[in-house]
Structure 1
Amino acid sequence: MTTQVVAHRGASDENAEHTLGAYLAALESGADGLECDVRLTADGHLVCVHDRDLRRTAQARGLVSTMDLADLNELDFATWKNPWADLDDEAPERDESLDRVLTLRKLLETVADLDRRVEVAIETKHPTRYGGLVERRLVEMLKDFGWDVPGSPVRVMSFSFTALQRVERAAPGIQLVQLVDKAQHWSMLRRVVGPGWIMGPGIALLREQPRLGERITTAGHDMHVWTVNTDRDLERCLELGVKAVITDRPAYILERLGR
Structure 2
Amino acid sequence: MPQVIGHRGAAGTHPENTMVSFQRAFEIGVDGIEFDVHRTLDGHLVVIHDPAVDRTTNGSGLVMAMTLEQLRSLDAGAWKGPQFAGQRVPTLQELVRATPPNVRLYLELKAGSVHYPGIEQELVDLLKAEGALERTQISSFDHRALVRLKEIAPELPLGMLTSCNHVDPVGMAREIGCEAIHPMWYWVTPDYVEAAHAAGLKVNVWTVDEPTAITMMKAAGVDGIISNFPERVKSA
Does the alignment reach a TM-score above 0.5? yes
Tell me how far 1:214 sits from its aligned partner.
4.1
The residue aligned with 1:224 is: 204
Aligned pairs for 1:28-67 (under 5 A) are 28-67=27-66
* Contact 2:77-2:85 within 8 A present in 1 as well: no
Aligned pairs for 1:107-126 (under 5 A) are 107-111=95-99, 114=100, 117-126=102-111
Instruction: Select the structure of larger CA radius of gyration.
Output: 1
* Partner Cα separation in structure 2 for residue 186 and residue 49 of structure 1: 30
* Partner Cα separation in structure 2 for residue 184 and residue 224 of structure 1: 16
Aligned pairs for 1:125-164 (under 5 A) are 125-126=110-111, 130-148=115-133, 152-164=134-146
The residue aligned with 1:233 is: 213
Look up the equivalent residue of 1:165 and give its one-letter code.
Answer: V
Per-residue Cα deviation, 1:138-161 (whole angstroms, up to 9, x for no partner): 10101102233xxx2111111122
Mark the CA change 1:190 to 1:25 in structure 2 (over 3 Å): closer, same or farther: closer
* Contact 2:4-2:230 within 8 A present in 1 as well: yes
Mark the CA change 1:121 to 1:146 in structure 2 (over 3 Å): closer, same or farther: same
Tell me how far 1:128 sits from its aligned partner.
6.6
1:201 matched to 2:209? The reply is no
Per-residue Cα deviation, 1:75-119 (whole angstroms, up to 9, x for no partner): 00111112xx3xxxxx6xx683xx1011110000001xx3x5110
Per-residue Cα deviation, 1:209-230 (whole angstroms, up to 9, x for no partner): 7854444334442101111112
5+ residue gaps in structure 2? none
* Partner Cα separation in structure 2 for residue 78 and residue 58 of structure 1: 7
Per-residue Cα deviation, 1:187-232 (whole angstroms, up to 9, x for no partner): 56256232x52111111233xx785444433444210111111221
Aligned pairs for 1:208-219 (under 5 A) are 211-219=191-199
* Partner Cα separation in structure 2 for residue 137 and residue 127 of structure 1: 11
* Partner Cα separation in structure 1 for residue 190 and residue 131 of structure 2: 40
Tell me how far 1:129 sits from its aligned partner.
5.6
Look up the equivalent residue of 2:204 and give its one-letter code.
Answer: H
Look up the equivalent residue of 2:91 and give its one-letter code.
Answer: T
Query: TM (normalized to structure 2)?
Result: 0.91
Q: Which shows bigger deviation, 23-32 or 131-140?
A: 131-140
Look up the equivalent residue of 2:186 and give its one-letter code.
Answer: A
Count, aligned residues: 235
* Partner Cα separation in structure 1 for residue 122 and residue 113 of structure 2: 14
Identity %: 31
1:102 matched to 2:90? The reply is yes
Which runs of at least 4 in structure 1 moved beyond 4 Å after TM superposition?
A: none
1:73 matched to 2:60? The reply is no
Query: TM (normalized to structure 1)?
Result: 0.83
Mark the CA change 1:127 to 1:106 in structure 2 (over 3 Å): closer, same or farther: closer
* Contact 1:124-1:134 within 8 A present in 2 as well: no
* Contact 1:123-1:158 within 8 A present in 2 as well: yes
The residue aligned with 1:180 is: 162
* Contact 1:57-1:80 within 8 A present in 2 as well: yes
* Partner Cα separation in structure 2 for residue 185 and residue 27 of structure 1: 36
Q: Which shows bigger deviation, 9-18 or 123-132?
A: 123-132
**Equivalent in 165, 175, 189 of residue 172 of structure 2:** 189
5+ residue gaps in structure 1? 86-90
